[in-house]
Structure 1
Amino acid sequence: MDAVPGDDERLRRWRLVLGADGAGSTGHALTGRDEAVDGALSALYGGGRKPEGRGGAERSGGLGASAPAVVRWLGDIRTYFPASVVQVMQRDAMDRLGLSSLLLEPEMLEAVEPDVHLVGTLLSLSRAMPETTKETARAVVRKVVEDLERRLATRTRATLTGALDRSVRAGRPRHRDIDWDRTVRANLRNYVPLPGREGAGTVIPERLVGYGRTDRSVKKDVILCVDQSGSMAASVVHAAVFGAVLASMRTLATRLVVFDTAVADLTDQLDDPVDVLFGTRLGGGTDINRALAYCQSRISRPADTVVVLISDLREGGIRDEMAERAAAMTASGVRFVTLLALSDEGAPSYDREHAAALAAIGAPAFACTPDLFPEVMAAAVEGRPLPVPDTAR
């Protein structure tokens, strides 16, 4: 059982929460490390101080626009707080103090704690980034990508491999590929006695079960169609990682398409998700209809194709045509999946009218976490119901 903090500890905590304004109300003076922690917090959230190092020296408020001062502050918060808190404080510094432009300086990039949100910010700045900074930025992005791959790749490959084998076995095998033992077992309910031959009968196979042919080169085509508008930054990062993982599976033919008001096919870069990410262009408008038209033109095996649209559905193109195009693909046999977000950011903001229109054609739109994505893809390739989160029902 955790110990209950005493009065002094409670006052200390309140003083850190309230900042300099709480000095009088709590009557608690901060010293040593606590004073330095308070300085780091005050620099971002107010209180009239910013750190000049780890001593918490008195200054006029804010971090200013000085890269050296910000780098020192970044070093301080990494000393005093766990990585998850540091990432939140970094995001707040970008939003509250407008420090994004300082990420164009190499010393800043070397000091930050890399995470998915930072990658999104770097990608949005990539076209303004000086050459001296680009290699450092790529190193930051690669660290985040490699961390994601380590967490997600093995489970994704294992889940999809099993689903692909089952999807082949449940299909319509050629005569030489029929697994007769499984076929008989699957059709025992269709046993028919033969007239005039006591104890004899036959099984009428309504469903043929085939072997999962390991020598078959491609079982399914997958098209990831990803909205690269600014609000989708975290989803773009995860989609690039998953696209690279899926492309590494020889039984899948994976295509990655990103779009705003234009469409870019990044399939030839899927061997390196960092190249994919630096090939995107975060921000700008959205033309989902144009992107779906491009994807539709690349479909040659509708019954063996899964299209995953990752978008908040805030269409800037021809709204009615977007839904009609999705319906046409579904009618042709394509498995159409709509993800409003592919991230851990919680409930997304999205166009509810378009989400309802897609649900009406059998393509429910829902937010998906990276951990759930392998299960969603497995269900899609097998043709079974998608594991839609309860919050999306």
Structure 2
Amino acid sequence: MQKLPMKPDTTVEDAVVSTTREQRWRMVLGSDAEVSCGALGGTLRDMDAALSVLYEPDGPGGLKRRGGRGGSAPNIARWLGDIRKYFPSSVVQVMQRDALQRLDLKQMLLEKEMLEGVQPDVHMVANLIALSSVIPAGTKETARMVVRQVVDGLMRKLEEPLRAAISGALDRARRNRRPRHAEIDWQRTIRANLRHWQPEYRTIVPQELIGYGRKSRKPQREVVLCIDQSGSMAASVVYSSIFGAVMASLPAVSTKLVVFDTTVVDMSDQLDDPVDLLFGVQLGGGTDIHRAVSYCQGLIREPHNAILVLISDLYEGGVETKLLARARELVDAGVQFIALLALSDEGRSSYDAGLAAKLAALGVPSFACTPDAFPALMAAAIRRDDVNQWAAQQGLMTTRASA
């Protein structure tokens, strides 16, 4: 049972306690339980009606009962308003996703009035991107506002952790181990040599000097994000675009972003605005991973300083043997090649376990990653840590190499 609607001076516990056991069972079981559990009244009746529209679509109030050629937009718009009135935003998002799947309410995303009433989230953005080519001209600006709202919220949440993790990793990676006297970082040097404390002299005799990194205008790392834009990877595309935009703003990182299905599109020049980038993506279609990885290989200038992140469920529609050969070339050249089976928080992902195991055997770590863990992953890759070991420490399930 979700939270019940509350007056301003009412707590969650008060609202839940105010319902009887029979009322709660009635709302769980639906209208068929009215005989045994009794009828609902007042606010509970209105909440139940909103639930019935979605979870009893063939019932008296269900959307599927409405036939004819007339538009159902007013009914759906009213329903969107009702669920925002009676349920918290986290539940509203779940109900909206269920409506799209259970009732095929694509019309929700094609009407301006609908979009203005939607509680936006990553999944709603993915649906808007998928339908971007058919959204009416009069609705597109509203759709962009919805996407912008979600992107701005995610940027506020994810930008600073990614910046901090990458900047810290770059500072550590470029640390000068043979500094001149003016370049010595005394704080780090003292911490690194505390074990060499000499009590009789009341001083430290440093065995290792650590200096500040020598600044360079040249990017220290090349990062290529290669993103599968098949429909199943929709949430991953949203998060990847945001992370790509953040990394592109860091002078020490040269960032490229490539999306693919059976064709390959380089969107690196749109990284300054993730919303424009997302509306340039065409979700759906087949998959040719080998073609995409081959293109990305051509973007890499210094293999030993390059990180290639393939974000895909690895259902290859191209030639698998060619993909594996290309992966071996990249690894042998010194590229840090990582396969993320998903970049989302949707739970266990579906992927080609066989191909993931073959890539792992070539030295390409393969695992799913949540958006919150991605900054630490990039930091580990920049430091050239063992990414498999890092993933295991984070509790991320890595794919074992095939025999």
TM-score interval, normalised by the smaller of the two chains: 0.7 to 0.9
Looking at structure 1, the residues matched to 216 and 289 of structure 2 have their Cα atoms a distance apart, in angstroms, of 37
CA 1:32–1:333: 2 relative to 1, 3 Å: same
> What aligned pairs does 1:1-393 form with structure 2 within 5 A after superposition?
9-26=20-37, 28-46=38-56, 48-50=59-61, 61=65, 66-169=72-175, 211-386=212-387, 387-388=390-391, 389-393=394-398
**Paired positions, count:** 370
Contact 2:179 2:210 in 1 (8 A): no
AA paired with 1:275?
A: D
- Other-structure match for 1:54: none
Deviation string, structure 1 residues 263-288 (Cα, Å, up to 9, x no partner): 00111100000011011110000010
- Structure 2: stretches of 5+ with no match in the other structure: 1-12, 196-205, 399-403
What is the one-letter code of the residue matched to 2:347?
A: G
CA–CA separation in structure 2 for the residues paired with 1:5 and 1:113: 24
Change (3 A) 1:7 1:326: same
Q: Is the 8 A contact 1:221 1:305 kept in 2?
A: yes
Query: 8 Å contact 2:293–2:323 — kept in the other structure?
Result: yes
Counterpart-to-counterpart distance in 1, 2:64 and 2:326: 58
Percent of matched pairs sharing the same residue: 54
Q: Using the alignment, how far apart are the partners of 1:212 and 1:340 within structure 2?
A: 35
Superposed displacement of residue 324, structure 1:
1.6
How many Å apart are 1:101 and its aligned residue?
Answer: 3.3
Q: What amino acid is aligned across from residue 163 of structure 2 in structure 1?
A: R
Letter in 2 for 1:281: Q
1:75 Cα offset (Å): 0.2
Distance 1:209-1:321 versus aligned 2 partners, 3 A rule? farther
Q: TM-score scaled to structure 1, two decimals?
A: 0.86
- Judged with a 3 Å threshold, the aligned counterparts in structure 2 of structure 1 residues 272 and 177 are, in CA distance, closer, same or farther, namely farther
Cα deviations by residue, 1:195-246 (Å, 9 ceiling, x for unpaired)? xxxxxxxx999xx965323444411111000000000000000001101111
Cα 1:239/1:259, change in 2 over 3 Å? same
Does the 8 A contact of 1:179 with 1:209 survive in 2?
yes
- Is the contact made by 2:230 and 2:286 (CA closer than 8 Å) also made in structure 1? yes
Taking a change above 3 Å as real, the CA distance of residues 354 and 176 of structure 1, as seen in their structure-2 partners, is: farther
**Structure 1 residue 7: Cα displacement:** 11
Cα separation, 2, equivalents of 1:158 and 1:274: 23
**Counterpart in the other structure of 2:9:** none
> Would you say the 8 A contact 2:225–2:244 is kept in 1?
yes
| Distance in 1 between residues matched to 2:180 and 2:246, nearest whole Å | 33
TM-score normalised by L of structure 2:
0.84
Sort the Cα spacing of 1:177 and 1:380 in 2 relative to 1 into closer, same or farther, 3 A: farther
Shift of 1:188: 12
- Please state whether the residue corresponding to 2:78 is helix, strand or coil: helix
In the alignment, the residues of structure 2 paired with residue 34 and residue 180 of structure 1 have an alpha-carbon distance, to the nearest angstrom, of: 66
Aligned to 1:195: none
- Distance, in Å, in 1 between the alignment partners of 2:147 and 2:313 is 24
Is the Cα contact below 8 Å between 2:122 and 2:150 reproduced in 1? Answer: yes
Contact 1:152/1:371 (8 A) holds in 2: yes
CA distance in 1, matches of 2:15, 2:135: 50
SS in 2 for 1:339: strand
Checking the alignment, whether the CA contact within 8 Å between 2:120 and 2:149 is kept in structure 1 is yes
Quickly say closer, same or farther: Cα 1:130–1:164, change in 2 above 3 A: same
The CA distance in 1 between the partners of 2:242 and 2:67, in whole Å, is: 34
Residues 245 and 274 in structure 2, CA contact (< 8 A), matched pair in contact too: yes
8 Å CA contact 1:168, 1:210 repeated in 2: no
8 Å contact from structure 1 (residues 48, 62) kept in 2: no
